[in-house]
Amino acid sequence: MNPRSIILDTDPGQDDALAIFLALASPEIELRSIVTVAGNVPQPLVTENALALLEVAGRTDVPVYRGADRPLIREQYTAEYVHGDTGIDGAGLPPPTAQPQELHGVHHLIEACLSAPAKSITLCPVGPLTNIALALATEPAIVDHIREVVWMGGSIAGAPNTQGVGEFNSYVDPHAVHIVLQSGVPLTMFPLDVTHQAILGPDALDRLRRYDTPVTRCCVGMSEFYAHHDEDRFGFEGAVMHDPCVIAYLIDPTLFEGRRMRVAVELADPDLLGRTYASSHGAEVLVMFEADSDRLIDLFVDRWSSL
């Protein structure tokens, strides 16, 4: 079977970093490029983080494109209170030596899609949807070249993790969510309902420590730092692996169960801006709700330890 050709749109972020490592370690995935978006921390930190993570993994052949610096309309909101000042606190990585590509990330998305065969590119946004929305609004013809958009974002019935309203990626740029929902692109959504079942606990971290490689040391350090927020906020024993779920789904879809439903995002009520919810007026989305947690964590550990 040919590997799945993907572009990862990301705002590293510890869980974003672990999603990058998972994609690099998986023969089922062809990681064509990384596009960065302001989210967990501002630009240019997210871009520097992506470059540094590729360097520690020995994969500077993967090009990085700097994308949007801010959400479409609302003020920028970042999450240093979760991820630390760098966004990947705990990684202990030196500044990258490589540089991002000169082409803007949105233009890269458009060019990469238009130059690919029909229904061949999978876009994997694991941050705010700003870049994806800008690309779709600028050149709607890219829809015909996209096999699927697999997004980590939103929450249907799960407890919100941002400002008591909703999930962070949706909260940061709800107008981008609306554009993507209305674009007609095939969309699979990994909301908090399912990602809160993907917890990298102490046993998994102990398994990773035994390998003692630059990548596993980075994984452990980031996860230990990142775990504190969700342990305090939700009582989880470990770090929630939101973004790696997207890559795991592409490797083995049987790890998850979901259903098709219509989803909308709140834009009218300023107190609920960014909340995603089931609505008969929404767009049809494949929403994941259940994860095989034990198999999922085994996959993470096996793949990260192979880098």
Listed residue (152, 101, 129) closest to 38, CA to CA? 129
Q: Is 145 tagged catalytic?
A: no
CA–CA distance, 286 with 90 (Å, rounded to integer)? 34
Which of these, 8, 19, 50, lies nearest to 195 by C-alpha position?
19
Q: How far, in Å, CA of 19 to CA of 246, rounded?
A: 8
- DSSP H helical ranges for the chain: 14-24, 45-56, 80-83, 105-114, 130-138, 168-172, 174-181, 192-195, 202-209, 214-234, 244-251, 293-304
Q: How far apart are alpha carbons 150 and 250 in whole angstroms?
A: 9
Q: Tokens 């921390």 identify what position?
A: 41
What are the structure tokens assigned to 133, written together? 């929305």
Strand partners, 287: 189, 259
Catalytic annotation, pick one of 108, 145, 178, 242: 242
Up-side HSE of residue 153: CA atoms within 13 Å toward CB? 36
Sequence letter at residue 124: C
18: Cβ contacts below 8 Å, ≥ 6 apart: 219, 222, 223, 241, 243, 244, 300, 304
- The catalytic residue positions are 242
